[in-house]
Amino acid sequence: MSLQINATELIIRINNKEDLNLIDVRGAMEYHTYNIGGHNIPLEDIVDGIDELGYNKTDEIIVICKVGLRSKTAQTILRQNGYLNVKNLTGGLIAIQKLK
């Protein structure tokens, strides 16, 4: 099972109207400036609120940020806390914007 998803694959899945669990780990201001949907849970809130996320440990969760670094950290935190199917968007939202 891959721990990553690229921008092209994610856009295809969004366009196919798949029910995705997206977590955008950027700050609120960044999220409101540009986003592709999903829940805005800043990285520091994931650390503090890991028990209140509301996802099953086996759900596919895709974590996203601007370039893929904060989301990689979030992925590591989630996996360390028992979430088994967490994917990081490689290249982040910058990669998404380059495709549009």
Question: 4-99, what's its fold?
Answer: Oxidized Rhodanese; domain 1 (3.40.250)
Q: SS3 breakdown of the chain: % helix, strand, coil, rounded to 5?
A: 45, 15, 40
Confidence of residue 50 (pLDDT cuts 50, 70, 90): confident
For the chain, the maximum distance between any two Cα atoms, rounded to a whole number of angstroms, is 36
> Which of 2-6, 8-12, 48-52, 76-80 bottoms out in mean pLDDT, i.e. has the lowest?
48-52
Please check the confidence at residue 80 and state whether its pLDDT lies above 80.
Answer: yes
pLDDT at 1: 66
Q: How far is CA 42 from CA 8, 9, 18, 32, in A?
A: 24, 24, 23, 12
